[in-house]
Amino acid sequence: MSGSRCERCELIIGMGCGCPPDGSAPKARPAGRRTIQVWRTFPGHAILIKQNGKAHIPGACDHMTEDEVLPPRWGWIIDPPPALWGDIQESKPAIATGGNTGLRAVSRCQDCMGSLGNA
């Protein structure tokens, strides 16, 4: 049996993929006692880039809050191409288009990856 894979989380749509079709914030998934936060300013498909070069997804990890995501420590990509999240690496960085546009993501947050099911 084969199915279409989600371009964002890479899981099979309808069989593990919890990403909403409208691109809004991902559904909360239990991860131990942690759940995904709902953010107001950044859409769930945005990529947030911290000063240390780490990429995050809004609400997918619990070690930061929306109120912390401000320039110059943060940059972001509000409407990234669907495959960009999975492509982020040192040789293929994601470059911020908003906030601090001098920031480049060279790695992905492990907690975000786990919450999205693509660790």
Residue 4 lies inside a defined structural domain of this protein: no
Domain count, the chain: 1
Residue 8 lies inside a defined structural domain of this protein: no
Residue 14 lies inside a defined structural domain of this protein: no
Residue 102 lies inside a defined structural domain of this protein: yes
Residue 77 lies inside a defined structural domain of this protein: yes
Residue 66 lies inside a defined structural domain of this protein: yes
Strand residue runs (E) in 1-119: 47-50, 54-56, 74-77, 94-95, 98-99, 104-105, 107-108
pLDDT of residue 20: 63
Say what percent of the chain tops pLDDT 70: 66
**Residues 50-107: tens digit of each pLDDT:** 999 999 999 888 888 888 999 999 999 999 998 999 999 999 999 999 999 999 999 9
Domain that holds residue 80: 47-116
Residue 26 lies inside a defined structural domain of this protein: no
pLDDT of residue 52: 96
Residue 15 lies inside a defined structural domain of this protein: no
- CA 51 to centroid of chain Cα atoms: 16
Q: Around Cβ 65, how many Cβ atoms within 10 Å?
A: 10
User: Could you tell me the pTM of the whole model?
Assistant: 0.69
**Phi, then psi, of 113 in degrees rounded to 5:** -60, -40
**Residues 3-22: tens digit of each pLDDT:** 666 666 655 665 556 666 66
